[in-house]
A and B are shown apart, each in its own frame.
Chain A
Amino acid sequence: MNERRLPLDIIGALILGAALGLFYAWTLAPVQIIDSAPAALRADFKNQYRAAIAASFASNHDLARAKARLALLADADSYAALSAQAQQMLAAGESFASVEQVADLASALRGPPPTNIASSESPTPISFEPVNSTQNVTSAPQETLPPFSTEIPLPLFSPTPRPTRTPVPAPGAPFALVSQESLCDESLPDGILQVMTINLDGRQLPGIELIVSWPGGEEHFFSGFKPELGNGYADFNMAPNIIYSLRAADGGAPIENLSAPSCTAANGESFFGGLHIVLKR
């Protein structure tokens, strides 16, 4: 009898011991969280870390170092993370200067502008020792950044959402028209007015308030609400056969006589195309 019950007792003791061990390991004396890496930070702290990297980059223009620091956060795509954060900051009403720093770093990651002052300075990458694996926090792998690319093509999209607040644009020179071209692309919505705002270095500018007006109406919209299309991108839907005027809210001559061009589709039918306008200051 005893010989048959002994294994059960042993198994019971084993299970009880394991339960006690787990209770001790998970509750009484869990793994100490010290010496963690930035990749393990909570999302809001990662945002602050990213903003600090951007602020530092705005000061020292050391892109190599900024990349090394961003790699510590282990974002799948640093450009996307920075762009999304810029939009969140813009929507949250944070200062335009802070938003611009984040957006500028995102633009710098995309590729150097034609006159890039960052690349002329000697980069000083930083390196960190890996975090001790016994503490269950691993350091971030080095990020592979996309090669230099010029402006991305503009795919399908919907109209720019209306902002819930009015960002305060940074003071600066007025915007001037750089280019204006018609878009006869059937894949784009009829009457789309695409606007790209850039600075003298070719970097896209988010948070720029644009005003489009027509006989009997006016509408305000902002660049940067579609980071996937560029931080300086904004769009508006024009109605057929109406003449519009476009200007930046903080200055610059208005661009008059804008209207949806008449285009011919591949099947011979006509449709209203769009316009693509680049503004620079």
Chain B
Amino acid sequence: MWITLAAAAGIGLGLLYGWVIDPLQVVDLTPDTLRADYRADYILMVAEAYQNEKDADSAARRLAIFGADPPAQIASFALQFGPSAGFSATELSAIEDLVAALQTYQPSSGDSSP
């Protein structure tokens, strides 16, 4: 009886220490772990840059940090999330332009694929 209670208390203490007091360190994360609003804002930055550069290749490379999905699909996330995040009409328009450009985008060379 006492041994069972002690073991249960030990497990509880272990969980407390491992989850609360000293959880696994979260550094050196990859961008796919970013919260949705940060991810959408990054896509907005890429869209704003695209407005200036008109370089779909650069935009696709920048979006590749989110993984191997097609860049248009990555960018379209911000279109879905943007309205609820308070993106302005100008910003949404910039993202739409980027998505449209990436939908017809073909990598100019092998090294530009995500």
* Selected interface stretch from B19-27, B75-83, B103-111: B19-27
Give the contacts of A53-84 with B (CB-CB under 8 A). 53, 55-56, 58-60, 69, 72
The answer to the question of B29 belonging to the interface, with a C-beta cut-off of 8 Å to chain A, is yes
Say which residue of B9, B26, B35 sits within 8 Å of A31 (CB atoms).
B26
Say which residue of B17, B19, B35, B62 sits within 8 Å of A36 (CB atoms).
B35
The answer to the question of B67 belonging to the interface, with a C-beta cut-off of 8 Å to chain A, is no
Q: Do the beta carbons of A126 and B41 come within 8 Å of each other? A: yes
Q: Do the beta carbons of B7 and A22 come within 8 Å of each other? A: no
Q: Which residues of A contact B27 (CB under 8 A)?
A: 40, 42
CA distance A42 to B3 in the complex (A): 45
Q: Which residues of A contact B88 (CB under 8 A)?
A: 124
Q: How many A-B residue pairs have CB under 8 A?
A: 164
Given contacts A16-B10, A21-B12, A25-B17, 20 further A-B pairs with CB under 8 A are: A13-B6, A14-B10, A18-B13, A18-B17, A19-B10, A21-B13, A22-B14, A26-B24, A33-B26, A41-B29, A45-B31, A55-B48, A55-B52, A55-B53, A56-B44, A56-B46, A56-B48, A59-B51, A136-B23, A136-B24
Q: Which residues of A contact B (CB under 8 A)?
A: 6, 9-11, 13-26, 30-31, 33-38, 40-43, 45, 48-49, 51-53, 55-56, 58-60, 69, 72, 97, 124, 126, 128-129, 131, 135-137
What 9 A-B pairs come out closest when comparing CB atoms? A21-B14, A17-B10, A25-B18, A55-B49, A59-B52, A17-B7, A56-B45, A13-B6, A35-B35
